[in-house]
Structure 1
């Protein structure tokens, strides 16, 4: 398993969600949590985002 960390612009590109939508869904527990990279930098584990997308696709079918 790869633990590649992706930053917000890549998360927005992958999901099609805006920054505010991502953080709103995170606060509701409906989106993977970010991890601190130090200072003011955060990122997401790419595999978590991919799994979330797969679940969304499965719900839509």
Structure 2
């Protein structure tokens, strides 16, 4: 599935950046920020995460946070209709 490939691509890019000593400076987004950015409801975001079709959040003190760069890359990889 295309979206699963996007998730794999994101992980590969992040891995290569760590190996090369480069760190992606990115803002951490809340679920509210992510929902606004991708224009999906909360449940759709979590459904896509459970299917492996959306970037997983990082846990920050009991809260979920997403790297803005991962969300931006995910959006860029969406098929255009």
TM-score by length of 1: 0.88
Number of aligned positions between the proteins = 58
Shift of 1:3: 2.5
Q: More strand per residue: 1 or 2? A: 1
Aligned partner of 1:38 in structure 2 is 61
Q: Radius of gyration: which is bigger?
A: 2
Runs of 4+ more than 6 Å apart: none
Where does the alignment leave 5 or more consecutive residues of structure 1 unmatched?
A: none
Structure 2: gaps of 5 or more residues: 1-23
